[in-house]
Structure 1
Amino acid sequence: MTIPLPTLDLQSLDADHVLRAFIGWWPDVQTRAWLAEQALQAHAIYGGRMMQPDHFHLTLAFLDGSRVSDLQTLATQMAQWTEPQIKMDLTMRDVFEKPRVVWAGPDASQSQALTALQQWHEEIWAKLIALGWTRQPRLFRPHVSLLRHAQIAAGQPHGHALPTQAFVGDGVGLIVSVPGEQRSQYHLAAMIKPERTGA
């Protein structure tokens, strides 16, 4: 399991500092290459800013602004969490109009994968709430963002079938967004271990 991001030692930071964070599922190198191709094709249609290949991920829980002390506690807890085995294909491209995001994800026919992802999402949030986080009323739509700041014509259908690509996970992590001079950089603060199979 590898997530291609610089690591961040939360213990070295001011406990009262607030950072934006999320828990994300990272695809492997082959899946990221496919996503980069889809982002390039989508950019020709919508413009906007393409996601960096190393930043492609499926968000499992968005934590908004969180105190470093809370993230430190979460990082310790996450070492005991496990990543379930979920088989999912990326088969469609669509948009979120208001935030101007173009994304790739599974279509509605993948009911087993969508149900498993929803259950995983709920389990993660149950643990987060127990640690003191407040859940915001967001609809969970499993997706990988391809573009941000896209030029999306409102009220028009944008769903588009894509050549099927298996989403091969290569790590689940607590990701912290650290502000930079030009743009924020994702840093890995903790990892979830994969679920063991076999004897």
Structure 2
Amino acid sequence: MDGMQRVFLALWPSTPVVERLRTVVPLHVSGRHMRPDTFHMTLAFIGAADEDCLERIATAADSVQVPPFTLRLDHLGYWAGNHILWAGPSRSPRELLELAGGLRDALDAQAVSYEPHRFTPHVTLVRNASAVVPARLSEPIDWDVAGWCLVSSRPDAHGPHYELLARWHCRP
């Protein structure tokens, strides 16, 4: 993979949102708890990208325009198939769906491949989690979204390490 990076587009939470996310995992849940510095919401996972692809991703992201919005994380979910505990919204704001859809459309226009999974807004909290009953958070977390970023991922024995490569700001 010489000259290639593993990348994705994501929302990156502020420190207050990260601090709140750290507190929502029930105490009885075992598994691999994600490090707080890795909390994010993937908008489009691209995978291996060379310099040319990174430029096309930037062109795509430059073309997307959404106003700032508030994302309310008020739900804990559990995917039994891959044993992931996550936090997410019970209702996605229109702007979030427009952002994710707009980025995917713009990536298509730039001939950038990405994983075509349906967008399910979530922040992974625990991998290999013991079973958890989905529930509403007693105190929702309001995340003021002012932009999104391009992130490079390097896995190692201790989990992923992320580097923010570029940032875009929401604008009306």
TM-score, scaled relative to structure 2 = 0.85
Unaligned runs of 5+ in 1: 1-13
Alpha-carbon shift at residue 182 of structure 1 (Å): 3.6
Which among 66, 70, 89 is matched to residue 87 of structure 1?
A: 70
> Structure 1's 31 and 182: CA in aligned 2 closer, same or farther, altered over 3 A?
closer
For residues 126 and 147 of structure 1, the distance between their equivalents in structure 2, rounded to whole angstroms, comes to 30
- Equivalent position amino acid for 1:193 in 2: H
Greater CA radius of gyration, 1 or 2? 1
- Following TM superposition, by how much is the alpha carbon of 1:117 offset from its aligned partner in structure 2, in angstroms? 1.8
**Which of the pair is proportionally richer in strand?**
2
1:175 aligns to 2:155 (yes or no): no
State the match for 1:116 in structure 2: 95
Deviations 1:127-150 (A, max 9, x none): 111111234431211111111121
Cα pair 1:19 1:66 within 8 Å, conserved: yes
Map of 1:9 onto structure 2: none
The answer to whether residue 41 in structure 2 is matched with residue 66 in structure 1 is no
Gaps of 5+ in 2: none
Map 1:74-153 onto structure 2 (within 5 A).
74-75=57-58, 78-79=61-62, 81-107=64-90, 110=91, 113=93, 115-152=94-131
User: Which residue, out of 19, 29, 32, partners 2:5?
Assistant: 19
Moved runs in structure 1, 4+ residues, more than 4 A? 79-83
CA contact (8 A) 1:79 1:190 kept: no
One-letter amino acid of the counterpart of residue 63, structure 1: I
Q: How many residues align?
A: 171
Which amino acid in the other structure matches residue 74 of structure 1?
Answer: I
Displacement after TM superposition at 1:187 (Å): 0.5
- Larger fraction in helix: 1
Most deviating of 115-124 and 22-31: 115-124
- Structure 2 distance, partners of 1:60, 1:126, is 12
- Once the two structures are TM-superposed, the CA of residue 106 in structure 1 deviates from its matched residue by 0.9
| % identity of equivalent residues | 27
Q: Secondary structure at the match of 2:22?
A: helix
Deviates more, 1:173-182 or 1:28-37: 173-182
Q: What is the alpha-carbon distance in structure 1 between the residues aligned to residue 12 and residue 33 of structure 2? A: 17
SS at match of 1:184: strand
1:185 pairs with 155, 161, 167, which one? 161
The TM-score, its normalising length taken from structure 1, stands at 0.74
- Shift of residue 25, structure 1, vs aligned partner: 0.6
Q: Is the 8 A contact 1:93 1:159 kept in 2?
A: yes
What is the Cα-based RMSD across aligned positions, in Å? 2.4
Could you tell me how far apart the structure 1 residues matched to 2:170 and 2:31 are? 35
